[in-house]
Structure 1
Amino acid sequence: MKLSRIIIVSILFVHIGCNTETKNEKQEVIQEIVKEQPQKEIKTKAFKYWTWFTVNDSLSTEDYKREFQKYKENGIDAILINTEANAKKLSVVTPIAKQAGLEVHAWMFTMNRPNDSIALQHPEWYSVSREGKSCYDTRPYIDYYQWLCPTRKESRNHVLSLVENLAQVEGVTSVHLDYIRYPDIFLPIGLLPKYNLVQDEELPEFDFCYCDVCLNTFEKQHHKNPKDFKNPAIDMEWKQFRLNQVKKVVDDAYAIAHKYDKILTAAVFPYPEMSDHMVRQRWDKWTVDMVLPMVYHNFYNEETDWIGYVTQQGVKDLKGKPVELHTGIYLPPMSPEEVSIAIQLAKDNGASGVSFFDGHAITDEQFKAIKASKSNIRN
Structure 2
Amino acid sequence: MKLKHLIVLLVAIVATSCIDNMHPAGNKDQAEKTQDSSVSEDFKFWTWTTADPKRSDDSYVEEFKKYAENGLDAVLINTNADAELLARLTPLATAEGLEVHAWMFTMNRPGDTVALKHPEWYAVSKEGKSTFDHRPYVDYYQFLCPTREGSRNHILGLIDKLTKVEGVSSFHLDYIRYPDVFLPIGLLPKYDLVQDTELPEYDFCYCDACIAKFEEEHHKNPLESHNTAIDMEWKQFRLNQIKAVVDDAYEVAHKNGKLLTGAVFPYPEMADHMVRQRWDKWNIDVVLPMIYHNFYNEEIDWIGFATGQGVKDLEGTGTELHTGIYVPEMSAEDLAKAIQLAKENGAKGASFFDGNALTPELLAVIKEANEI
Q: TM-score, length-normalised on structure 2?
A: 0.89
C-alpha deviation, 1:348, in angstroms: 0.6
C-alpha deviation, 1:360, in angstroms: 1.2
Find the aligned partners of 2:37 and 2:155 in 1 and give their Cα distance: 40
C-alpha deviation, 1:324, in angstroms: 0.5
Q: Deviations over 1:260-303 (max 9, x none)?
A: 11010010000000000000000000000000000000000000
Residue 345 of structure 2 is aligned to residue 349 of structure 1: yes
Identity %: 66
Find the aligned partners of 1:42 and 1:333 in 2 and give their Cα distance: 36
**Equivalent runs, 1:1-379 vs 2, <5 Å:** 45-376=41-372
Change in CA separation of 1:176 and 1:232 when aligned onto 2, cut-off 3 Å: same
Contact 2:83 2:162 in 1 (8 A): yes
- Matched residue SS, 1:146: coil
Query: Match for residue 14 of structure 1?
Result: none
Contact 2:53 2:85 in 1 (8 A): no
Letter in 2 for 1:133: K
Find the aligned partners of 1:350 and 1:205 in 2 and give their Cα distance: 38
- Matched residue SS, 1:180: coil
Q: Deviations over 1:230-256 (max 9, x none)?
A: 211110000000000000000000000
C-alpha deviation, 1:333, in angstroms: 1.5
C-alpha deviation, 1:372, in angstroms: 1.3
C-alpha deviation, 1:310, in angstroms: 0.4
Find the aligned partners of 2:357 and 2:339 in 1 and give their Cα distance: 17
C-alpha deviation, 1:42, in angstroms: 9.6
C-alpha deviation, 1:373, in angstroms: 1.5
Find the aligned partners of 2:166 and 2:146 in 1 and give their Cα distance: 28
Find the aligned partners of 2:229 and 2:251 in 1 and give their Cα distance: 32
Change in CA separation of 1:95 and 1:132 when aligned onto 2, cut-off 3 Å: same
Find the aligned partners of 2:198 and 2:329 in 1 and give their Cα distance: 30
Runs of 4+ in structure 1 deviating by more than 4 angstroms, as ranges, are: 41-44
C-alpha deviation, 1:163, in angstroms: 0.6
- Matched residue SS, 2:46: strand
- Matched residue SS, 1:264: strand
Letter in 1 for 2:327: L
- Matched residue SS, 2:53: coil
Find the aligned partners of 1:208 and 1:121 in 2 and give their Cα distance: 21
* Larger Cα-atom Rg: 1
Gaps of 5+ in 2: 1-35
C-alpha deviation, 1:116, in angstroms: 0.3
C-alpha deviation, 1:375, in angstroms: 2.5
Letter in 1 for 2:117: Q
Q: TM-score, length-normalised on structure 1?
A: 0.87
Contact 2:265 2:271 in 1 (8 A): yes
Find the aligned partners of 2:166 and 2:156 in 1 and give their Cα distance: 18
Q: Deviations over 1:52-97 (max 9, x none)?
A: 0100123100000000000000110000000011111100010101
- Matched residue SS, 1:147: coil
Letter in 1 for 2:74: A
Letter in 2 for 1:294: M
Count of aligned pairs? 336
Query: Match for residue 18 of structure 1?
Result: none
- Matched residue SS, 2:75: strand
C-alpha deviation, 1:229, in angstroms: 1.3
C-alpha deviation, 1:107, in angstroms: 0.3
Find the aligned partners of 1:137 and 1:244 in 2 and give their Cα distance: 26
Q: Deviations over 1:169-217 (max 9, x none)?
A: 0000000000000000000000000000000000000000000000000
Q: CA RMSD in A?
A: 1.2
